[in-house]
Amino acid sequence: MASSSIKPGILVSLQDLYPSSPFFKQGASLRVTGKLQEYSVEAAIAVIVDGSCRLKIDTRHLRDLNLRIGSIYQFIGELLIQSNNEAILEARVGRNVDGMDLNLYYQSLQLLRQFQSNHTSDQAT
Amino acid sequence: MDPTYGTHVKLLAFDFLSLTQKSSSDPICFYRKGRPVSRAETVGVVVSRERKGDKFLKFLVDDGTGCIPCILWLNHLNSPYFSRCNPSDVRLMADMAAGFAEEIKLGALARVRGRITSYRGALQITVSDVFVERDPNAQISYWLDSIRLAVNCYNVLPSPNFLKHHHQQNHKR
């Protein structure tokens, strides 16, 4: 993949991924975080959860990542929305983030979005 | 000189990628909101890596707000640029760069420092240091540090008195 065509993974929580959400788009590049609930080695499909929200992850492009049920992982990849409106993230990279403070992570995301939006509007004026 | 010029500024990728360049200056200088910057630090996930033999390693660091292109030169032993340097120093630099290249793996969370440069009009970091983070909260700390520094430091123009004092101190050294 040419590096110039790689888009940053927009930081989202699993709660952000519902059909009418602005992040729920075919091909959207996203960075998602959640606890590994299921993993099928044959299908290379993992399921991560955060509270009551879940997301399927296609892990077939990942190398050297040891997936353990109950651990927390972060994946970056593209969202594929299937005909039944179910989404699956085709992961490009993944990493174990056991020990991450998820409350701080989501609070920081809000701050980051606010800072980015203020900065962009400052530059526009 | 403005103190932001000599430090590794911690900029979020979207902020780094909106730096402007004054090409007529020598050395080439980059500006953030009118203040000069020359070095930067970033922390993010390595999302691509492309090695060109023993010449260089190009990689992209995604911090969630953008992707920063980075170039790590590996040609110390063959480049005429280093021919006048002490050979043992050049060997050390080459070994260090080769070690960094091994550490830059897809999916790693890397802290990268270096000079701000541009190639074919695109901003990039010419890498001098790489540190692969083991702390799962390192990305969060970096975001918060970058926001705090932007708001309290980089967005605040130093007073003329500060610049005068800074200039005098540098002159004494």
Q: Which of the four CATH numbers 2.40.50.140, 3.30.365.10, 2.40.160.40, 1.20.120.1730 does domain A10-124 have? A: 2.40.50.140
Q: What are phi and psi of A83, to 5 degrees?
A: -60, -30
Say whether residue A6 is in contact with chain B using an 8 A CB cutoff. yes
Shortest alpha-carbon distance between residue A5 and chain B (Å): 10
Residue of B nearest to A2 (CA): B48
CB nearest A95 (choices: B48, B107, B144): B107
Say whether residue A67 is in contact with chain B using an 8 A CB cutoff. no
CB atoms within 10 A of CB B24: 7
Residue of A nearest to B44 (CA): A8
Query: What fold is seen in the domain B8-135?
Result: OB fold (Dihydrolipoamide Acetyltransferase, E2P) (2.40.50)
Q: What residue ranges do the domains of chain B occupy?
A: 8-135
CB contact under 8 A, A9 and B69: no
Q: Strand ranges (DSSP E) for B12-170?
A: 20-22, 29-32, 35-37, 39-52, 56-62, 67-73, 109-119, 122-132
Phi-psi region of A41 (alpha: psi -120 to 50; beta: other; left: phi over 0): alpha
CB contact under 8 A, B147 and A65: no
pLDDT by position in tens, chain B (length 173): 777 777 899 999 999 999 998 766 666 789 998 889 999 999 999 999 999 998 999 999 999 999 999 999 999 888 888 888 888 989 999 999 999 999 999 999 999 999 999 998 899 999 999 999 999 999 999 999 999 999 999 988 777 666 666 556 655 65
Say whether residue B18 is in contact with chain A using an 8 A CB cutoff. yes
